[in-house]
């Protein structure tokens, strides 16, 4: 009798300790791709597991067959499966379609003025005439925080608030005229008679004008053909007989079309040692088109440096062609350059001659 009771107790203990194990894989019903992170929980119990990165899972439980498992995952419809035995389960999940209210997306375009935190000075042609300036360096001399640097070669460079000349970007009608080799812009090229306005932005302008504008920006805007006009100017220096200026130009306007041209020649003697000759040619035209205005401008600048002995000559040249449209674009009043071509030529040559 005692032996029978012992066998019965051992049998009941084995039945109570028996563990059932099921395994399977969770996949997408549409393309069969493995779905990771799927929750598999026995219905009515707190036993469960989750599928791994390959979608595979294994669940051990003391519940005897049959029982049901609840399967859930974000983005898929919940599923309940009856498990009859320990055979492999292939669970196919169907993507859930979540109904929501209608969402309307509308895009609008509006004009945004870009604020410049730096100080801005403006000089127009009338102010330049009142100063009696003969070159752009003299015209900028009265602007605070600007320093004009002059070389014996006649080169004029500008620095703003103690910056280097390489840190100041100079634009002529929106086209950068800084030398790509040295990074410096020679202002002596520019003819004062072409200038309509000069804008000086003091302080960093890298976000708007490029990484080399950390010192500031000088933006020069030329005159356009707006009315019929003509001029001839001549200047003679007082210190040296070689200081000569000659400039003439004309504009003609007929209806919506205007054309014009300018020529300027400057000869300067620096310290009685070097003679610099600058030749400036400019042709321009514009027309009212598409409720706006289209302007084309051509500049050709040549500069020659010659020693008094005539033994060495240095030539430097710059040629720029640009086109600009100003008017409504996509219902906003905008402006932009359609194209520009820039070419620079520099050379040095020996000039044979007698030396004094």
Could you give all domains of the chain from N- to C-terminal order, each with its CATH number?
A: 13-93 (2.60.40.1120), 119-350 (2.170.130.10)
Mean predicted confidence (pLDDT) in 48-76: 90
Residues 6+ apart with CB under 8 A from 263: 247, 248, 249, 279, 280, 281, 282
Confidence of residue 35 (pLDDT cuts 50, 70, 90): very high
Q: According to the model, what pLDDT value does residue 71 have? A: 93
Q: From the CB of residue 41, how many other CB atoms can be counted at a distance below 10 Å? A: 17
> Which position has the higher pLDDT, 314 or 178?
178
Residue in the structure block whose two tokens are 């071509």: 341
Q: Are 41 and 106 in contact, with CB atoms under 8 Å apart?
A: no
pLDDT number for residue 353: 42
Q: Could you count the other beta carbons within 10 Å of the beta carbon of residue 212? A: 15
Identify the weakest region by mean pLDDT among 101-105, 113-117, 272-276.
Answer: 113-117
pLDDT (mean) for 48-55: 92
Lookup: tokens for 185: 């812009």
**Predicted TM-score (pTM) of this structure:** 0.54
**139 vs 198: CA distance, rounded Å:** 10
pLDDT at 14 over 70: no
Residue 24's pLDDT is 93
Of residues 17 and 313, the one with the higher pLDDT is 313
Q: How far apart are CA 171 and CA 159, in angstroms?
A: 14
Return d(Cα 318, Cα 184) in angstroms, integer.
13
Residue 277 has pLDDT above 90, yes or no: no
Q: Roughly how many angstroms between the first and final C-alpha of the chain, as a whole number?
A: 144
pLDDT by residue (tens digit) across 132-177?
Answer: 777 777 778 778 888 888 776 677 888 888 888 888 888 887 778 8
Question: pLDDT class for 221, splitting at 50, 70, 90?
Answer: confident
DSSP 76: B
Map 195-240 to HEC letters. EEEEEEEECCCHHHHCCCCCCEEEEEEECCCCCCEEEEEEEECCCC
Own/partner pairs, 345-350, CB within 8 angstroms, 24+ separation: 345/315, 345/316, 345/317, 345/318, 345/319, 346/315, 346/316, 346/317, 347/314, 347/315, 348/312, 348/313, 348/314, 348/315, 349/313, 349/314, 349/315, 350/311, 350/312, 350/313
Output the average pLDDT for the chain.
76
Phi, psi of 165 (to 5 degrees): -65, -25
């Amino acid at each position: 009798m005692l032996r029978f009771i012992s066998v019965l107790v051992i049998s009941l203990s084995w039945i109570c300790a028996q563990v059932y194990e099921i395994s399977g894989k969770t996949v997408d019903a549409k393309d069969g791709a493995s779905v990771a992170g799927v929750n598999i929980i026995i219905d009515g119990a707190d036993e469960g597991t989750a599928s791994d990165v390959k979608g595979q899972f294994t669940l051990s439980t003391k519940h005897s067959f049959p029982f049901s498992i609840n399967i859930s995952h974000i983005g898929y419809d919940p599923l309940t499966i009856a498990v009859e035995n320990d055979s492999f389960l292939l669970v196919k999940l169907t993507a859930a379609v979540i109904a929501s209210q209608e969402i309307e997306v509308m895009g609008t375009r509006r004009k945004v003025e870009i604020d410049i935190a730096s100080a801005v000075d403006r000089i127009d042609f009338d102010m330049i005439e009142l100063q009696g300036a003969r070159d752009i360096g003299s015209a900028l001399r009265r602007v605070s925080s600007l320093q004009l640097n002059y070389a014996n070669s006649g080169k004029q460079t500008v620095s703003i608030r103690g910056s280097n000349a390489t840190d100041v970007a100079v634009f002529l009608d929106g086209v950068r005229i800084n030398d790509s080799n040295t990074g410096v812009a020679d202002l002596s090229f520019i003819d004062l008679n072409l200038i309509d306005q000069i804008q000086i932005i003091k302080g960093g302008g890298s976000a708007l004008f490029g990484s080399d504008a950390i010192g500031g920006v000088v933006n020069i805007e030329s005159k356009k053909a707006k009315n019929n006009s003509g001029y001839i100017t001549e200047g003679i220096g007082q210190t040296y007989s070689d200081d000569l200026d000659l400039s003439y130009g004309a504009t003609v306007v007929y209806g919506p079309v205007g054309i014009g041209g300018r020529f300027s020649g400057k000869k300067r003697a620096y310290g009685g040692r070097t003679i610099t000759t600058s030749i400036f040619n400019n042709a321009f035209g514009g027309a009212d088109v598409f409720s706006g205005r289209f302007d084309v401008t051509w500049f050709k600048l040549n500069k020659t440096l010659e020693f008094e002995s005539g033994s060495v000559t240095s030539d430097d040249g710059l040629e720029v062609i640009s086109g600009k449209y100003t008017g409504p674009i996509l219902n906003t009043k905008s402006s932009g350059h359609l194209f520009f071509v820039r070419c620079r030529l520099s050379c040095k040559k020996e000039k044979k001659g007698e030396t004094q």
